[in-house]
Amino acid sequence: MGDKTLTRMDLSEAVFREVGLSRNESAQLVESVLQHVSDALASGETVKISSFGTFTVRDKSARIGRNPKTGDEVPISPRRVLTFRPSHLMKERVAAGGKG
């Protein structure tokens, strides 16, 4: 199985086929959902999608590192990390190869 990237267009096509909206309406719906999820994550909220999984953003704490050239201690600024925890159902579906 090779690498596959799921794009907005792929999602829009799936909505178009499954829901029956026009292609334009499907694209707008997908874009709106993705924007809503992004905005929630950017504001620090947890996004939980039932039977799929949970997306969270957390701040990694600031730490002290060493400059490799001088050996001086330097602060490493905190960064935000996005994590995804798949639901039990999603884990089972992926393990089964998408059947189900």
Distance CA 65, CA 74 (A): 5
Q: Are 57 and 70 in a shared domain?
A: yes
Q: Are 36 and 51 in a shared domain?
A: no
Q: How remote is the C-alpha of 99 from its chain's centroid? A: 22
User: Per-residue pLDDT tens for 68-84?
Assistant: 899 899 888 778 888 99
Tokens, residue 51: 């039977």
Strand, helix or coil at 90? helix
For 90, the domain range is 44-99
Per-residue pLDDT in tens (0 to 9) along the chain, 100 residues: 567 788 999 999 999 999 989 999 999 999 999 999 999 998 989 999 998 999 998 887 778 888 889 989 988 877 888 899 999 988 898 888 866 5
Q: Are 74 and 53 in a shared domain?
A: yes
Q: Are 54 and 82 in a shared domain?
A: yes
Number of domains present in the structure of the chain: 2
Q: Are 34 and 76 in a shared domain?
A: no
Distance CA 25, CA 16 (A): 8
Non-local CB neighbours of 96 within 8 Å, separated by 6+ positions: none
In terms of C-beta density within 10 A (0-12 exposed, 13-18 middle, 19 or more buried), how is residue 90 classed?
A: middle
Q: Are 61 and 34 in a shared domain?
A: no
**Within a domain: residue 1?**
no
pTM: 0.67
